[in-house]
Chain A
Amino acid sequence: MSLPPDPPPSEPVPSGKETPTLHEPMTHEELDRLWSDPKGLWGQLTGVQNDLIGVRLMLTGFFFLLLGGSFDSVLMRLQLAMPESSIISPQLYNELFTNHGTVTMFLVILPIFEGFAVLLLPFILGSREMPFPRLGAFGFWTLLFGGLLYYSSTLFAAVPDAGWFAYTPLSGPEFSPDLALDFWVLGLGVAEVGAIAVAFEIIIGVLKMRAPGMTLTRIPLFAWSLLVMAFMILFAFTPLIVGSLLLELDRGFGTQFFDPQLGGSSLLWQHIFWIFGHPEVYIQSVPAAGIVSMIIPVFSRARIVGYNWLVAALVAIGFLSFGLWAHHMFTVGLSPIILSFFAAASMAIAIPTGVQFFAWIATIWSGRPAWRTAFLFCVGFLVIFLIGGITGVMVAAPPFDMQAHDSQFVVGHLHYVLIGGVAFPIFAGVYYWFPKFTGKLLDERLGRWNFWLLFIGVNVAFFPMHIVGLMGMPRRVYTYDDGLGWGIYNLISTIGVVAFIVPGIAVFVWNVVRTLRRGEEAGANPWGADTLEWGTPSPPAQHGWSVLPLVTSRHPLWDQDDLHSGEPWLVKFVHGIGNWPLRWRAGVTVGTADGRPQEVFRVADPSIWPLFTAAGVLIIFAAELFKIRWAIGVGALVVIAGVIAWNWPKKAPMTVEEESAFEREHGVPVNAGGSVVIAKWATALGILFVSIAFGTLLLSYFYLRLENPQWPPEGIAQHGLVRPAIAAALVIGGGLIARWGLGRLRDDRRGSFIGALAGTLLMAGAGIVLQVAEHLGYDFTWTAHAYGSIFYTLSGFVIGVAAGMMIMTAMVLYWTIQGQYTARRHAAVAHMIWFWTAAQLIWLVGFATVYLGPRLT
């Protein structure tokens, strides 16, 4: 391949400076040991370190890619290469395309990007760890267990076959009566829990755990993109979990959410699924854009053009992607005014995407590119993603979409977007960051083969699909007649996959294996890059930074002479943290906007409880799958026990006096018992999560109410309001007593506080019992009509939230009696009160909806 000669990678960076080196104090080795996970099998099971979890998440993604992404697609392409081919049966073909879509959308790209985030963020942001190492471990275990549970369907010869979106009624109990779809719903359910757990970790990591001085406008763009991605995961996956719950209730418990005969709506599933499904595409492409924004400036030897514009574009895409979902439903018969809303939003999202493109091109234009493999993949991304984006705007127009819908044109479009827009940046990211974590450079010659095979292969495989799609070939057909003129295009597509893409991936795997065995040594900063992670040795120490970096620029390694210079008190502070404490893992939180140190806190140690809790989640879902219902209770108990044990307050490893001494000297408070700041953010996100789930159920309620001419259906009388009103008063009153108790605790009147919590338990408990008794007295069921289904599900959710509050209150009461909380330290109690406020509101709105909804006429 004749490419222009590269500038040597060690060529001076734009500012012409050498990469600054790190201060490594005497404590370096000791800190490295302190932050290492235990050795051996036990260490593997209890490990929580970000590099361990990050690499595991990425490997899980690549494992499922090879299993589901590659194997399935080759088989399908071989089948379609010739007309009237009979290599595989129609049933197997259905299973293959279902599996291919499901695995790539849920089990490949998501864990890979979350893995990138967990592995890289502490280094990129200049912190020592992610905020919740144990939550990260829990996320990994649930993703792995979920993927394996889903894949175990092959062992039972019950492979899901209803497409990756599992449309009802095909996926409902009538048309898919065996276990196959339960593997889909429940296996993925476990993985979705994991995805959300890691999203919590990423949000708080980016907002609160950065190097001192890293203000919001100095955060590297990859971290911004991961922040947007994590929020999107929270807002998109939560509705999907609720949707999956409704589908499983239909399948396993006889509810009627999606059966139009009995008041349900099959379109409700499509709405819920695509409220997840469309943002999911951007959940994948937003971090990809982040990777590209990191790599292009480094290899162009130029600062990124339009940093603020790119941040705006990422945030705009994050929001706009939630207003596009019905463009997957243009042909279901929505009214034209609704079509126009979704078409307009689908086209509007091209504006921020275009802004990104111009910024990237301008950056390359302003520099002098070094054509390394990572950069080649970025340029390949620009070309292929642009084509995918343009066909995307085409299908955003309803008249065109009505023609192209469900045809191979859409298959071509989405593969250009997902391979060009997502897979290429992933390859770029691996080539770029591989030396940082292995200390070895991937081979450039093999890298070029890797790139060109994939670049040519993607175009050969997927471009003909646009043509054959416009000729009328539908997607998801296992064969086609001879004489339609489709054969040649399909043959070309198959050649693209078999002759180019498969060898391309093989070259990549070979490159990784070969490099691990005898790769060229990489220094700390082989690319002359600008961001913090390249300031650490390759591979970096377990704790990343002995002395935290001080950031005064958006490109610290290009602009700063020294990573530890700055305001004198900050210099003193970061050196202080390098030497103290050495008995527990100290992390630092910073102000969200200004990046000034806010708190030194103890980061969680290795623990078995994340694995234990993940096993509990698996038991719940697997028990429902195999219809061993009593085991659901066992799983729930395991989860509750796991969460309690996980959060069991540990004695702070130092005295208040020792904490105060550091505060006095350095001006930053210390919380050796655990962070106040991080817990506050986690509480807020937890409430947000519950609220999104609740909001999805409310929207489902109103959607079903819209669709039904009679509400409640004939035979169900209006409900009495007296007892529900008393129950609501009791629950809300119970929460208020706890709030009153918090004030007494702050006045150091622990006895009154204990009394208040006992009062809360009694009063709210009585309210819950009264409400459950009221439900038991009703003579309508959840199986006869969608009205009963949503009535009991929504009520059940609200009661479940209140029951969770009872457990939380009981534990806080127990720990108070044990003497855990004082007027000085009681953050957990304050956060419980936040939860109580949310639970009170949810109770009020939830029961107002189910009791007053039928009365609004």
Chain B
Amino acid sequence: MTNKEERAHGATTGTSGTPFPVDFTRDRRARVTWVLFLAGPVIWISHFMFVYLVAEAGCTGDGPGLELFDPPITAIVTIAATVIATLACLQFARWAYRRWQYSEGEDHDDGRVGMAFTGMLLSLLSVVAILLEGLPALVFTGC
């Protein structure tokens, strides 16, 4: 931990004790674990809210300027977002898979192998949920 990082947490210890009052560096390393764990569901909810709000704007909204979202834009945006979100989830699933595979058997004491595997499952489930929600837009091109 650099001196700057150490100061950023609002406390430093004297020279006599441990170098830092609280060692946050391990939590920082854990960030990758959390990102791979939560990426799938976060992409899913972002995709869900995005396509839903666009559909509300295009189908429910009659306020000024909302013609922009009228059909078939709603369906096109939904399909495009679905493709992007699916690819993103698959990519995260792949990263999680590699982390799981390559670290399995190694002696890690922070549970990162299990978390990577769980993250992969969550990313794959998110792919399924995203496709389930997005693909009907191929049929419902109107409102």
B and A form one assembly? yes
| A positions within 8 Å CB-CB of B | 213, 215-218, 307-309, 311-312, 315-316, 318-320, 322-323, 334-338, 340-341, 344-345, 347-348, 351-352, 591-596, 598-599, 656-657, 659-660, 663-664, 667-669, 671, 676-677, 680, 702-703, 705-711, 746, 823-831, 856-857
Which A residues touch B140, using CB under 8 A? 336-337, 340
Contact with A along B22-36 (1 / 0, CB 8 A): 111011011001100
A830 to B11, alpha carbons, bound, how many Å? 9
Taking a contact as CB atoms under 8 Å apart, the answer to whether A337 and B22 are in contact is no
Taking a contact as CB atoms under 8 Å apart, the answer to whether A664 and B16 are in contact is yes
20 new A-B contacts at CB < 8 Å, known A340-B137, A707-B61: A213-B109, A315-B122, A319-B41, A337-B55, A337-B59, A341-B48, A348-B125, A348-B129, A348-B132, A592-B30, A598-B23, A664-B18, A669-B13, A669-B22, A676-B9, A706-B56, A824-B12, A826-B10, A827-B10, A828-B10
11 contacts between A and B (CB under 8 A): A217-B114, A315-B122, A316-B122, A319-B44, A338-B56, A340-B136, A592-B34, A707-B63, A709-B63, A825-B10, A828-B10
A594 to B27, alpha carbons, bound, how many Å? 8
Which A residues touch B34, using CB under 8 A? 592-593
**Interface SS of A by simple majority:** helix
Taking a contact as CB atoms under 8 Å apart, the answer to whether A312 and B30 are in contact is no
Taking a contact as CB atoms under 8 Å apart, the answer to whether B114 and A308 are in contact is yes
| B positions within 8 Å CB-CB of A | 7-14, 16-18, 20-24, 26-27, 29-30, 33-34, 37-38, 41-42, 44-45, 48, 51-53, 55-57, 59-66, 74-75, 78, 109-115, 117-118, 121-122, 125, 128-129, 132-133, 136-137, 140, 142-143
**Chain B proximity of A476: nearest CB distance (Å):** 27
A218 to B133, alpha carbons, bound, how many Å? 34
A676 to B61, alpha carbons, bound, how many Å? 48
A341 to B136, alpha carbons, bound, how many Å? 8
Which A residues touch B75, using CB under 8 A? 337
Taking a contact as CB atoms under 8 Å apart, the answer to whether A669 and B57 are in contact is no
A702 to B64, alpha carbons, bound, how many Å? 12
Taking a contact as CB atoms under 8 Å apart, the answer to whether A660 and B17 are in contact is yes
**Chain B proximity of A731: nearest CB distance (Å):** 23
Taking a contact as CB atoms under 8 Å apart, the answer to whether B132 and A830 are in contact is no
Which A residues touch B129, using CB under 8 A? 320, 323, 344-345, 348, 351
Taking a contact as CB atoms under 8 Å apart, the answer to whether B121 and A312 are in contact is yes
**Interface SS of B by simple majority:** helix
Taking a contact as CB atoms under 8 Å apart, the answer to whether A599 and B74 are in contact is no
Taking a contact as CB atoms under 8 Å apart, the answer to whether B125 and A338 are in contact is no
Taking a contact as CB atoms under 8 Å apart, the answer to whether B63 and A708 are in contact is yes
Taking a contact as CB atoms under 8 Å apart, the answer to whether A335 and B59 are in contact is yes
Which B residues touch A668, using CB under 8 A? 18
Give the top 3 A-B pairs by smallest Cβ distance, nearest first.
A830-B10, A663-B17, A706-B61
Residue in chain B with minimal CB distance to A827? B10
**Chain B proximity of A478: nearest CB distance (Å):** 35
A826 to B21, alpha carbons, bound, how many Å? 12
Known A669-B17, A709-B63; judge A345-B48 contact (CB<8 A): yes
Taking a contact as CB atoms under 8 Å apart, the answer to whether A344 and B64 are in contact is no
Taking a contact as CB atoms under 8 Å apart, the answer to whether B111 and A709 are in contact is no
Taking a contact as CB atoms under 8 Å apart, the answer to whether A857 and B64 are in contact is yes
Taking a contact as CB atoms under 8 Å apart, the answer to whether B110 and A215 are in contact is yes
Which A residues touch B24, using CB under 8 A? 598, 677
* Most chain A beta-carbon neighbours within 10 Å: one of B12, B22, B34, B128: B22
Known A315-B122, A345-B129, A830-B9; judge A308-B27 contact (CB<8 A): no
Residue in chain A with minimal CB distance to B114? A217
Taking a contact as CB atoms under 8 Å apart, the answer to whether B10 and A676 are in contact is yes
Which A residues touch B41, using CB under 8 A? 315-316, 318-320
Residue in chain A with minimal CB distance to B15? A660
Taking a contact as CB atoms under 8 Å apart, the answer to whether B64 and A711 are in contact is yes
Taking a contact as CB atoms under 8 Å apart, the answer to whether A825 and B45 are in contact is no
Taking a contact as CB atoms under 8 Å apart, the answer to whether B26 and A337 are in contact is no
Partner of A345, one of B11, B63, B64, B133: B133
A488 to B20, alpha carbons, bound, how many Å? 73
Partner of A341, one of B8, B21, B27, B52: B52
**Chain B proximity of A382: nearest CB distance (Å):** 22
A341 to B109, alpha carbons, bound, how many Å? 41
A337 to B79, alpha carbons, bound, how many Å? 12
A710 to B64, alpha carbons, bound, how many Å? 7
Known A347-B132, A352-B125; judge A308-B117 contact (CB<8 A): yes
A656 to B15, alpha carbons, bound, how many Å? 11
Taking a contact as CB atoms under 8 Å apart, the answer to whether A825 and B11 are in contact is yes
A706 to B67, alpha carbons, bound, how many Å? 11
**Chain A proximity of B37: nearest CB distance (Å):** 8
**Chain B proximity of A272: nearest CB distance (Å):** 14
A663 to B14, alpha carbons, bound, how many Å? 11
Residue in chain B with minimal CB distance to A319? B41
* Most chain A beta-carbon neighbours within 10 Å: one of B45, B118, B136: B118
Residue in chain B with minimal CB distance to A746? B7
A703 to B53, alpha carbons, bound, how many Å? 9
**Chain A proximity of B17: nearest CB distance (Å):** 3
Residue in chain A with minimal CB distance to B45? A319
Residue in chain B with minimal CB distance to A338? B55
Partner of A323, one of B10, B13, B48: B48
Residue in chain A with minimal CB distance to B30? A593
Residue in chain B with minimal CB distance to A351? B125
A820 to B112, alpha carbons, bound, how many Å? 40
Partner of A593, one of B13, B111, B125: B111
A823 to B33, alpha carbons, bound, how many Å? 33
Which A residues touch B42, using CB under 8 A? 319
Partner of A711, one of B33, B48, B63: B63
